[in-house]
């Protein structure tokens, strides 16, 4: 088998895919966490500041997810095909939440009505929280393992993805992202909003550690 600097190509692809997805979780994680905490900010000014804090970076950070998917397909096409077909519903929900989150951020400021802003604020918060949760659910199922037959096809049903272990990892992921987002917002804010964010950060940290 061909090697590069003493490592075979599958190992290099494994490192590349792992590094790219790790970069996505780190760099887009604070965006998701900030979004999951969005409804805890009750006044319009605080919500606007929180959105402005992630405004320059949130869409760029999602590029890591695209690069990771491409690297995964290039390095491990069989695993890519099996995993995405097996976890079709979780991945489609993940994609739907990504779209809904982007639409919420962009549409929120299009009209001045309070009900309009509240609608998209709620959509933004729920989609961000669901993205954080689904990341954990997908990771939990990968770590736990899935039934695959001799043709490398998934032989279970979609309800098995909602097992206690995966749900626990999902909730842990949500707490981690929320803590990450609160830390980022604490850097970007001051005054009463800073105090609020620090308090949320402590709650998220406790939830993550538990």
Query: Tens of pLDDT along 32-75?
Result: 999 999 989 988 888 999 998 888 888 788 888 888 888 889 88
pLDDT at 209: 85
Q: What is the crossing angle of helices 9-36 and 44-54, to 10°?
A: 160
pLDDT at 4: 67
126 — pLDDT class (breaks 50, 70, 90): very high
The candidate with the shortest Cα–Cα distance to 161, out of 174, 177, 144, 175, is 144
Would the pLDDT of 78 be above 90? Answer: no
Average pLDDT, whole number, for the chain? 87
> In this structure, what is the dihedral angle of CA atoms 190, 195, 197, 198, given to the nearest 10 degrees?
110
pLDDT at 1: 60
Q: Which residues pair with 197 in a beta bridge?
A: none
How far is it, in rounded angstroms, from Cα 1 to Cα 14? 16
Q: For 163-199, write each residue's pLDDT tens digit.
A: 899 999 999 999 999 999 999 999 988 888 888 899 9
Q: Which of 2-11, 33-42, 96-105, 137-146 has the lowest mean pLDDT?
A: 2-11
Which residue reads 């707490």 in tokens? 175
Q: For 86-98, write each residue's pLDDT tens digit.
A: 888 888 999 999 9
Phi and psi angles of residue 42, each rounded to the nearest 5 degrees, phi first: -85, -30
The pTM of the full predicted model, rounded to 2 decimals, is 0.89
Distances (CA, A) of 112 to 51, 104, 108: 16, 14, 9
């Amino acid at each position: 088998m061909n090697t590069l600097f003493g490592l075979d190509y599958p190992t290099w692809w494994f490192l590349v895919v792992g590094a790219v997805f790790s970069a996505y979780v780190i760099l887009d994680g604070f965006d998701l966490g900030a979004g999951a905490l969005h409804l805890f900010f009750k006044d319009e000014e605080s919500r606007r500041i929180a959105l402005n804090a992630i405004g320059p970076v949130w869409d760029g950070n999602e590029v890591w997810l695209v690069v990771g998917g491409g690297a995964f397909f290039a390095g491990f096409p069989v695993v890519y095909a099996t995993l995405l077909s097996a976890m079709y519903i979780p991945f489609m929900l993940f994609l739907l939440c990504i779209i809904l989150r982007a639409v919420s951020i962009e549409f929120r400021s299009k009209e001045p009505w309070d009900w309009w802003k509240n609608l998209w604020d709620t959509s933004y918060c729920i989609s961000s929280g669901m993205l954080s949760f689904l990341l954990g659910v997908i990771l939990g199922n990968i770590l736990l393992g899935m039934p695959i037959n001799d043709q490398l096809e998934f032989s279970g049903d979609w309800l098995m993805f909602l097992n206690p272990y995966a749900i626990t990892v999902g909730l842990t992921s949500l707490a981690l992202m929320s803590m990450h987002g609160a830390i980022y917002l604490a850097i970007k804010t001051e005054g009463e909003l800073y105090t609020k964010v620090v308090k949320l950060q402590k709650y998220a940290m406790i939830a993550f550690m538990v």
